[in-house]
Amino acid sequence: MTDDKDVLRDVWFGRIPTCFTLYQDEITEREAEPYYSFPEKDLLHCPSKDAIEAHFMSCVKEADALKHKSQVINEMQKKDHKQLWMGLQNDRFDQFWAINRKLMEYPAEENGFRYIPFRIYQTTTERPFIQKLFRPVAADGQLHTLGDLLKDTCPSAITPEDGEKKNQVLIHGIEPMLETPLQWLSEHLSYPDNFLHISIIPQPTD
Amino acid sequence: MAEEPESGLQLPPSSTTDGEGPTEVSPETATPEPPSSAAVSPGTEEPAGDTKKKIDVLLKAVGDTPIMKTKKWAVERTRTIQGLIDFIKKFLKLVASEQLFIYVNQSFAPSPDQEVGTLYECFGSDGKLVLHYCKSQAWG
């Protein structure tokens, strides 16, 4: 004998033509749920692993364009590029750094890279980030510091002499001392894409 | 080939995007420009000084990609690469599904959300930013 479930199943699969009517008191006035759609304005699409690899390699190439006029990355073979990506993808520190260390070298006669690859992210602006040409070494041979970079790119982030600390300057979630040489930060604290991603956030008030 | 005007031509304002791709950040001090039709207008005089709103971009085709009749453009600094890609595709009458890649220094493809102003600051030369465009991945 057919029970409710069987009838419902037939309705579900369209085997019984059905017409539904709602009673007035079953109808509630409610705002339609916002339709979830891909946030085109905030996120890039991620169609495939190859797309991520291409994006990562482009970032590494852009960093090397700044550091070495692309000489080091261009001298590498395709298999070296592949090793860089595979090392990152598979979380293989030694595999990654076997290649990445070459990107961290510079000519003996220089004191550092040509320009430092960096991006500064702030909460107080609509701009996606700040990226400019900035040399690691000053004309007099002194190493530029993180503080020097901030003074040049976003001076408002620096606490004045007697002022209250308004911001935190973070790389990898930690606050390096502003006296840290930028060249050292670039060699040792860059992200895998060889960029220094620097966040400036309001000082937490706890 | 028609002679190119001395000054760069003005890229149509961003308000005519299809809604695809990231929106460009609007410059804080700009007054909204009336959306123009596809008609190109001659570049306006730029105020002297470092903070020109527009930068000169030179577009070069790679391989068998169609060559743009007008190669030199004055582009708002905050225009994104994606915005530029959309513009070139429209200009070349490419189908939306066709891909277009843009390269800087013939070596890397900048992220679609990157602003041309930043690229000009870092990789511009002789007062302009040279970008190569291609329907396929030319430099990986």
Range of the domain at B72: 52-134
Lowest mean pLDDT among A27-36, A107-116, B42-51: B42-51
Tell me how close the Cα of A142 comes to any Cα of chain B, in angstroms. Answer: 22
Strand partners, B21: none
Q: CB B118 to CB A58 under 8 A?
A: no
Expressed in angstroms, the distance from the first to the final Cα of chain A is 68
Tell me how close the Cα of A57 comes to any Cα of chain B, in angstroms. Answer: 8
DSSP SS3 for B95? coil
pLDDT in tens, A117-152: 999 999 888 888 999 999 999 999 999 999 999 999
Q: What Rg value do the Cα atoms of chain B yield, rounded?
A: 14
Name chain A contacts of B112, Cβ cutoff 8 Å: 44
What does the alpha-carbon distance between residue A49 and residue A70 come to, in Å, rounded to a whole number? 25
CATH code reported for the domain at A1-202: 3.10.20.90
Q: CB B122 to CB A133 under 8 A?
A: yes
% of chain B at pLDDT higher than 70: 62
**B72-76, strands of its sheet edge to edge:** B9-10, B72-76, B54-61, B128-134, B101-104
- Mean pLDDT (whole number) for B18-28: 35
> Which chain B residues touch A if contact means CB-CB below 8 Å?
19-23, 25-26, 28, 78, 104-105, 107-115, 118, 121-123, 137, 140
- Mean pLDDT (whole number) for A161-170: 88
Name chain A contacts of B20, Cβ cutoff 8 Å: 40
- Indicate whether B13 belongs to any domain: no
Instruction: Measure CA B112 to chain center.
Output: 12
What does the alpha-carbon distance between residue B80 and residue B83 come to, in Å, rounded to a whole number? 5
Mutate to test the interface with A, among B122, B125, B134 (most CBs of A within 10 A): B122
Q: CB A70 to CB B105 under 8 A?
A: yes
B29 pLDDT exceeds 70?
no
Strand blocks (E) in B42-86:
54-61, 72-76
Q: CB A41 to CB B22 under 8 A?
A: yes
- Mean pLDDT (whole number) for B95-107: 91
Q: What are phi and psi of A202, to 5 degrees?
A: -60, 145
- Mean pLDDT (whole number) for A186-191: 97
pLDDT interval class at B137 (50, 70, 90): confident
- Mean pLDDT (whole number) for A196-205: 92
* CATH assignment at residue B102: 3.10.20.90
pLDDT interval class at A44 (50, 70, 90): confident
Give the start-to-end residue ranges of the domains of chain A. 1-202
% of chain B at pLDDT higher than 90: 52
Q: CB B109 to CB A54 under 8 A?
A: yes
- Domain total for chain B? 1
DSSP 8-state assignment for residue B69: S
What does the alpha-carbon distance between residue A71 and residue A60 come to, in Å, rounded to a whole number? 12
Q: CB B19 to CB A44 under 8 A?
A: no
State which residue of chain B sits closest to A60, comparing Cα positions.
B108
State which residue of chain B sits closest to A119, comparing Cα positions.
B118
What does the alpha-carbon distance between residue A189 and residue A181 come to, in Å, rounded to a whole number? 11
Tokens representing A35 are 């339709």
Place of tokens 């679609």: B112
